[in-house]
Structure 1
Amino acid sequence: MDASKVAYIVIHCADTPPEMDIGAVEIDRWHKANGWDGCGYHFVIRRNGVIESGRPLDINAAPGWQSAIGAHVAGLNSQALGVCLVGGKGGTPDFRVQQWESLAHLVETLTRIAPAAEIVGHRDLDKGKLCPGFDVRTWWADWRQHGAD
């Protein structure tokens, strides 16, 4: 997938309880157990705000950047980059300050390489989902207007 084909940057949550700190390795294992090729997200943001790589995203590929197609939003994976916040059990956004800051900086970076992409939550594209437990469009608009205030 190249930047011109990215229509969405989709924010997810791992649906894990607040005391559970996992990362891309654990999600990779879970997704492989489901029969997938591995972690379905391109990025995972741990509780401490560390951003880990899931599916490959190569912004240095010639002639433009390329990424592996994700496995995170049915029917739209070939048009979407996936970001997963650890937490959010039952649709409750229990994310830490470091995660919010990392999410904002990651989305800012991704919008520079895929400027036409719409920033959405999984629930915006799949009405059967609560994930990530907050209105991503409103969060992104607020962040763009106010930053880390």
Structure 2
Amino acid sequence: MEFIFYQSNPNVEEDEYEDTSSGWRPIRYRLPPRSIMPYAWDYPAAKSKSLVLNCNGKERHIRLAEIGNLIPMRVPSNNNPNGQSIVDLNIVAEGPTQTLVLSNYKPSKSIYRQQKGQTSQASVATGFEVKVENSDVTFKAQLRLGGLGISLINQNMK
């Protein structure tokens, strides 16, 4: 699936309403499937830097400063009008650069799972919740030191 991305409006703070009369127009980049694209900020002096990721009409704002696994993104499938695909988003720091990795969502590898019940406002909006790890002991090791002796000797060899 193909993605379009661009830097969000640098004239607007996170909590402000976007002014359409400012004349700002984004520079859009096309990211074909299975490709890598280096990117530098179009407006590096902007206070709030975020990318807008668009796929089949679904938009998501992503801040690259939030390193780690992000909540997966549901995108409408272009083959099936009623279907959807799920994309896993991960921001990795590689030296001085941050890399946004887009991959297919795999429930067995992701730290997020699709929600079953509506528990919180955040999970209702996204449809995902963090997996709760079971803290039961799954591995136990036992070390037996049978036949091992310790000799304590002082300076007088006693």
Bin for the TM-score computed over the shorter chain: under 0.3
The structure with the largest alpha-carbon Rg is 2
Q: TM-score, normalised by structure 1?
A: 0.27
Structure number with the bigger relative contact order (C-alpha 8 A, sep ≥ 6) is: 1
